[in-house]
Structure 1
């Protein structure tokens, strides 16, 4: 058993000479007899502090942290003591590695014969011992955080329980205590006292045991306050006396303590409240009761019948109640002795009515009027509901396009000469939705839009820098309306801008010429012809070094440890870059490739004005062209290659369009399922 020995008898021990005491005398974090929050006696170039981080014994240990890297200084701490030349000393130090450990060691001691460097090789506390002969009256103990060649700032080592004693130390134990007695006995504690033990050198500590288990040390004080006892319980206490050499007396007499019984009940629960009331449950909460010892449990009663205990938790979720019913709840507090509080307040809870599960009636008279090329007015009679209709959901070809609190709805953004199917569902406050009613088929007037927007012929650039330029143009005209502009750089798609007529191009290369054009598109997918081409030459960069055959081997240009910057094109495995900034003849591997798109990500698909191509038209397009609309053909890919950013945007657009097709199909399936339910309900099957 490890004991914490206090150093209050140092003066007494000194009078008997060095043969009976630990020569590590200063009050500091590594002392055994007089531990203190200090580093007194230990000096050095490292950062030496008292630490509470996992000490070996007691409250503190000494931490040494290197302050410099790759240095002969900033990594050591040392301790000097008075010795007799030629006398043998037993030295014991407990140590462990700390943060950023790098082979700490006991090394370079002076004033000793027979010392060898000892490595501290574990993160766990380990005892290191030496038996050495003093060759100097002031020998020095040195601890290093790391070797000189591997020293880094932050290398750390801990030491604790330092003992320096000559051989043939004190072996005589103190006398046994024979008058241990108790007083001031309560439900949870008692006071112990005894007469001082005698020793040939001096008693340094008394250790107190309760039922054979150590519960504390009193130093040289001949009394001890035992706490944390349980009421109405018997305990046996004994005390052992110890001296500085670690000699322990025989056991004292046994002092039996019988704690008082707990008869005081906790205070009443008078703050019981309820919340989160539903048709079948509620949450009860209350403030903690007080007790002379401590509350150990709360028991909850519902209409006078116990429904459960919560331990020391002051809330409970009650379930399984009946809708529209009144209940009375009370809570009683209990302590470990079984004392129960008197009744507190009663919380009355009235559960809510059962939830509304009845759906409104179907909308069976949906009608249309005021049909134009792009819009139609829908109207219907009010649905009926057991509580009340709160709104209507309008569907176009199985996809929800809006909601309304009235019995009419204006649909816009339609295509000319196109057939649409509309349905309306009624909803109530509980979220119940009516079954499908009638379907109103509407064909818009006009003809299919095949007219492309006008070409962009006034594309200009401004604010050109070495890596960017701002493009702008006038609005294109169209018989219906322009929905998007495509920006093309050097013949390759760069970005979509939606309806915005300007675009900031970034990521350009300094001192390079680019050709830009812009194409206009309408909702029907018609694309304008190419307009004017705006040539932009970026400004020259500054402060970059070009890799050339002339400077490749210069000592002043180290290409192996620096970033590589080039004003011109770079070819790897090839001398023909075909005009690209980087050309690689062969395969490439990378941990990641980032393509910075300079335009709108195709989320415009989910905007209300976006017109999803009819599936029959998609079928005809595939049959005629052999690939999806807005996706380049195999011939085009073979001829021009793939722009990853452009292709990712196009593929995402197709995924988003596919999602809309699936949602439309799901709504149509639900409509059919509702129709089937209605038919079954009317006995037509």
Structure 2
């Protein structure tokens, strides 16, 4: 596998090989007897002081180490020569090379004069002063006179008093026997991988061979050490990323610390990982453009480790279908004036589903009522007399509701009930048959079919009394009769009826008066074809005539009187016209208010711009 990082990786491996080679050459290809795990160890460096004892204060320091991350910090605890010791296993008569890097640390007082010294059992090891504040390597070639020789480091020389707090640093210590194993193991040449997954792989190889024997292997991933195997010829690598390439190598070591060359490079590409993480839940589900039968839903992509591929929409916990990845959905087929709860679930390509989204509650608008009421089927009559009858029926039902009923006598309208399911018919003739029907209407004006026909025959009358002016005051005339019929005009308080059926001179009181209009009711004002006079035209008419357009003048009323039905219709027409003027004025006011708000916003922006310009000018 050749990638942009391959060149860098190979260079790193060559550099590692070079460093190992230099290390082998430097230590005389022999085992380091300074093998304690501590801050000054060459191959076992850790944040510790194991292997060193004495009456000085010894600690691990990260301040300017000579090699690695730590060094040993030796501090005097009192006046006089304070020290630390290190023992190692040796063969009597064996020659050893001791290498120690040291530098003088902070001194409280006195002349800096720390020293190395041979305490015993090392022939040729004499006291050596440490003289520099920079790291300096001190090398001693000695012969062991004991199986446990000891090295000592003083914070001051043995004859000069020291001061508490004086310090010295030592690092990169090695003790090498000149006759140890000097041959490095052969390089591993058959490093291979198996059982590769999305997150790991198994490495294996054969023992490459050594004159004494391989004791350990160190595994590298892209030239970075993953650790040692403890002598095993296999290693399981974990924690890798899916669909990613890696280069692995191995270095063999023997008991003397001799290191082989770097093995062959085993290039591994991990598998694509199984997507097990569900998308995040949608949290911003919202609705818009709601009508009587539908609404539009929308939301943002909630995010997923791989990617959301689809959304499923639910209405009242029942699935409406999937969007195919779109973050919007148009809902249709709803009922008017009805509440619904909508939710969304996100899914990825692996089928992982998110938690349910926030609930978006929607109430549809009131729809246009196009369905007519059912027909009345139980129209009946009661209390029939010679001149009238009472009609009644039940509510036939409607999808929204019946608001009125119109009653017909022999197919001629008698009027509407205002929603009542009864109607009293008067003014009938005695001993006469009539056919009555009813039509139901809803608020939208939808009319039902004609009801069943209720046939009624009035009772026989008591006869007609001739109530004329000549006999009207005779005591023999029964004025208490129930019904009064007159074939001519009637005048009360006057003999001049002016052609009207009833003329009253004076005031009249009644519990109710019904005017059966012979003129159009002025709902035509609200029709599109109606030409509403402009206010300017109305003003001119008032100025010129002193009364409203279409309204009789005072002189006309005084001369002709008024027809209540026509006058009520005329006044209602003026009220409806006034309503239209009010609506138009409201629209203009709202438009002016919007324009005023825009001007106010513009004024504020101009003001801020002026402030900014003045600030720049300064």
Per the normalisation by structure 1, the TM-score is 0.34
Highest Rg: 1 or 2?
A: 2
TM-score by length of 2: 0.37
